[in-house]
């Protein structure tokens, strides 16, 4: 039985940590940490319990923060987080992923990938990605040219997928030396009609892998929701049955590859609120063929809230917990796979990321 | 045997560090004397004393970060700005950064 469940939050004013036991009924909040820096993604390495936070401050630039005592104390470093003299400076760190053997990956703005083999103290640029011939054509998304999603193959350390707003999904099979775009079947609705399925340039918002099926990926894009069963080589729309084609996060069930969670918003030019001001998480149990809206305990009137790219997650308990944080600073949690929800924190700064850590 | 002359001590400057910067380095002080004849050398000296501090103040162009101001004798400085011995250097967070 799990001893502790932690929910890790990145917000625009620091990192926060919520802690509960396996029942997940009452939560203790601590924070803000990281000197109230904007923290874009706060994760934990499940192998060690180390917490890492990717952020960037207008005064002091980018850094990856680290805590080895579950958030009580923190250090920070950006050593090596640079494209080199004369190149565009890195503005902020946006995404993190723990790899095998203690390796840590970070995605940054302007989009690029770094890795660390010393627990985030020093970083090396994975230059192959920015050497891709498409790079001169990468256009920023509304929030900037950001590498915001990193998905690592669970058993092949040379394989990884990344998502960039707005360059699309790229894959490497050789540890980052070379990359190829994998966007076939995903739309760019903001392009002329005959250019709406380009090889790259899509505004992917979030990418996750299905549990136990490394070839299955789910994607929330600016223009649609998709599933791939061939490692991203081709994507099928799974929007049918959803209230819109727009949203930011997607979360995978910890064990069932057929189950995923989305949080569709009303549209990119309609305010980016939950549709009709009624909050709902949508769950599929059949890999996107059908969807069920889950609303019990969620506000159903005047809820003009949004949820950002990395702000939804599951935990690995059974039944799975599901969590999402809003741009209005509320955190909602379900301990029963989404059937019912509670608001477990509110009045926080804008929540940019939600991740979990279960400690046995 | 001829005695080797002692090297002259490097001229020092007095550096004032912004509170928000000092908070990032638990053992840093608000005022510190370091050796340096340019702002760039002062950055190196600060980084030697508190590893990582240069990255917080300078970006990879290389230049002082856009929302950090360094003042020397009342004037905004760049990394190339020269410093006389005993100069006062103010490292401040700019209002443009929030």
pLDDT for A286-339, tens place per residue? Answer: 999 999 999 999 999 999 999 999 999 999 999 999 999 999 999 999 999 999
Choose the closest CB to B55 out of A78, A84, A87.
A78
Is residue A22 scored above 90 in pLDDT? yes
Predicted confidence at residue A97, as pLDDT, reads: 98
Q: Do A85 and B61 touch (CB under 8 A)?
A: yes
User: Would the pLDDT of B1 be above 80?
Assistant: no
Q: Which residues of A touch B96 (CB under 8 A)?
A: 58
**Is B59 at the interface with chain A, CB within 8 A?**
yes
- Please tell me the distance in Å from B17's CA to the nearest CA on chain A: 13
Distance CA A191, CA A202 (A): 10
Long-range contact set of residues A334-342: C-beta below 8 Å, sequence gap at least 24: A334/A281, A334/A294, A334/A297, A335/A23, A335/A24, A335/A25, A337/A253, A337/A259, A337/A283, A338/A261, A338/A281, A338/A283, A338/A294, A339/A294, A339/A296, A340/A296, A340/A297, A341/A281, A341/A294, A341/A296, A341/A297, A341/A298, A342/A297
pLDDT tens column, B15-46: 999 999 999 998 999 999 999 999 999 999 99
The reply to whether residue B52 touches residue A79, judged by beta carbons under 8 angstroms, is yes
Q: What is the pLDDT of residue B8?
A: 53
User: What are the chain A neighbours of B26 within 8 Å (beta carbons)?
Assistant: none
Domains of chain A: 4-77+165-359 (2.130.10.10)
Indicate the pLDDT class of residue A2, thresholds 50, 70 and 90: confident
CA distance A205 to A308: 9
Does B52 contact A86 at a Cβ distance shorter than 8 Å?
no
Tokens of residue A255, six digits: 């064990």
Give the mean pLDDT of B70-98.
Answer: 94
Q: Does B65 touch chain A (CB under 8 A)?
A: yes
Global pTM value = 0.96
Q: What mean pLDDT do residues A243-247 have? A: 97
pLDDT per position as a tens digit, A184-228:
999 999 889 999 999 999 999 999 999 999 999 999 999 999 999
Domains identified in chain B and CATH numbers: 12-97 (3.10.20.30)
Query: Inter-chain contact A60–B65, Cβ cutoff 8 Å?
Result: yes
Q: What is the pLDDT of residue A172?
A: 98
B98 touches chain A (CB under 8 A): yes
């Amino acid at each position: 039985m799990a001893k502790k469940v932690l929910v890790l939050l990145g917000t625009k004013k620091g990192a926060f940590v919520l802690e509960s036991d396996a029942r997940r009924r009452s939560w203790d909040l601590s924070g803000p940490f990281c000197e109230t820096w904007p923290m874009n993604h706060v994760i934990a390495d499940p192998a060690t319990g180390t917490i890492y936070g990717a952020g960037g401050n207008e005064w002091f630039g980018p850094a990856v923060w680290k805590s080895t005592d579950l958030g009580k104390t923190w250090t920070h470093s950006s050593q090596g987080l640079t494209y080199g003299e004369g190149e565009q400076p890195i503005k902020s760190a946006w995404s993190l992923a723990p790899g095998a053997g203690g390796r840590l990956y970070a995605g940054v703005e302007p989009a690029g990938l770094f890795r660390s083999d010393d627990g985030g103290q020093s970083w090396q640029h994975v230059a192959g990605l920015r050497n891709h011939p498409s790079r001169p054509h990468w256009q920023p998304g509304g929030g900037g040219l950001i590498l915001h999603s990193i998905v690592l193959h669970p058993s092949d350390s040379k394989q990884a997928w990344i998502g960039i707003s707005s360059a699309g999904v790229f894959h490497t099979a050789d540890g980052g030396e070379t990359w190829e775009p994998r966007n076939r079947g995903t739309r760019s609705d903001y392009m002329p009609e005959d250019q709406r399925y380009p090889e790259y340039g899509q505004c992917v918002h979030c990418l996750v892998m299905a549990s136990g099926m490394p070839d299955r990926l789910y994607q929330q894009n600016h223009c649609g929701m998709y599933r791939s069963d061939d490692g991203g080589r081709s994507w099928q729309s799974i929007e049918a049955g959803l209230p819109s084609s727009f949203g930011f996060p997607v979360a995978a069930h910890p064990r069932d590859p057929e189950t995923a969670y989305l949080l569709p918003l009303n549209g990119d030019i309609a305010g980016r609120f939950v549709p009709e001001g009624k909050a709902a998480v949508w769950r599929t149990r059949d890999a996107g063929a059908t969807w069920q809206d889950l609303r019990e305990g969620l506000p159903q009137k005047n809820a003009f809230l949004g949820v950002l790219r990395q702000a939804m997650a599951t935990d690995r308990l059974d039944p799975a917990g599901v969590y999402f944080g809003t741009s209005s600073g509320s955190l909602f949690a379900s301990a029963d796979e989404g059937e019912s929800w509670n608001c477990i924190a509110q009045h926080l700064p804008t929540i940019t990321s939600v991740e979990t850590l279960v400690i046995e | 045997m001829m005695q080797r002359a002692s090297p002259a001590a490097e001229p020092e400057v007095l550096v004032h560090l912004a509170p928000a910067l000092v908070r990032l380095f638990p053992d840093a002080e608000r005022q510190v004397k370091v050796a340096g004849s340019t702002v760039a050398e002062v950055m190196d000296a600060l980084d030697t004393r508190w590893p990582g501090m240069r990255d917080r103040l300078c970006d990879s162009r290389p230049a002082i970060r856009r929302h950090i101001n360094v003042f020397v004798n009342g004037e905004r400085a760049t990394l190339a700005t020269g410093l006389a011995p005993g100069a006062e250097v103010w490292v401040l967070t700019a209002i443009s950064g929030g």
